Amino acid sequence: MITVGAFSAGLLFGLGLILSGMSNPAKVLGFLDLAGRWDPSLALVMGGAVAVGSIAFAVARRGGRTVLGGPIRLPEATQIDRRLVIGAVLFGMGWGVAGFCPGPAIVGAAAGYAKAWIFMAAMLAGMAVYRFSRFSQ
């Protein structure tokens, strides 16, 4: 049942990315182009995601179990440190250059975007470099 729930959540997430335009790198880059032809529509998508996420985290903080009976595990780290800032900067740079982040890249790859496959290869390579670097300790 957990596998079906995970698949359903992933499918819903992917469909949301497609419907919102987040899987289209041109739309994402248009949103990030503040000095050019700025497309503010993704700000509404992000605002909606923050609202839904805020509700979900408020419910999760109460404890208990997930809908499928699993334990709720919230992040334990609360400090903003150097590793977090560097990671956020690298994530933002990758998003700005490619127009993809991990979720939309998977959707884009499934849709046949060659650029998404290249992004995913670079992302996996970066994860491997991090995994075997001194920063991961």
The reported pLDDT for the residue numbered 27 is 86
Q: What are the residue ranges in the chain where pLDDT is below 50?
A: none
pLDDT, tens digit, for every residue of 46-56?
A: 899 899 999 98
Percent of the chain with pLDDT over 90: 22
Asked if residues 22 and 45 have their Cβ atoms less than 8 Å apart, the reply is yes
The reported pLDDT for the residue numbered 55 is 92
Helix (H, G, I), strand (E, B) or coil at 27: helix
Asked if residues 75 and 2 have their Cβ atoms less than 8 Å apart, the reply is no
From first CA to last CA, the distance across the chain in angstroms is 35
- Count of domains for the chain: 1
> What is the domain extent for residue 80?
2-136
The reported pLDDT for the residue numbered 120 is 93
Task: Name the residue among 79, 39, 72 with its Cα closest to residue 56.
Answer: 72
Task: Name the residue among 87, 9, 118 with its Cα closest to residue 17.
Answer: 9
The reported pLDDT for the residue numbered 136 is 64
The reported pLDDT for the residue numbered 126 is 87
